[in-house]
Amino acid sequence: VEHYGLQKISLIREFCLKTGVQLRLRDYVFDNVNKAPIGPDDVLNIFPVVKHIQMPIADASKAFNAAKNSIQKGLLVQAHEQLKEAAYLFDRACDDL
């Protein structure tokens, strides 16, 4: 840390932002070699950190685009069926996410 000119508190802050960990607000002592600076009681919450995921689901995307086209043409019954099919295909492909 000292070799690169970083502050320890800045490093902890970046770690928390990247991993979704929320720590209790207090003065942390990093120089004590006998005790860890952060304990289980200091962790208040853990938030999921997800940037995005893009799954190429061609069949579901085609059904969704067909439904959008049907809506623009005023074919609402057909659009409803296409949307149900698209939702089913998206659900089947993305169920485990």
Question: pLDDT (tens digit, 0 to 9) for every residue of the chain, 97 residues total?
Answer: 677 787 888 888 999 999 999 999 998 888 888 988 899 999 999 988 877 667 678 888 899 999 999 999 999 999 999 999 999 988 888 776 5
- Residue-range domain boundaries for the chain: 8-46, 58-94
> Angle CA(39)–CA(42)–CA(48) in degrees, nearest 5?
110
pTM of this structure: 0.48
Continuous segment of H or E residues that includes residue 44: strand 43-46
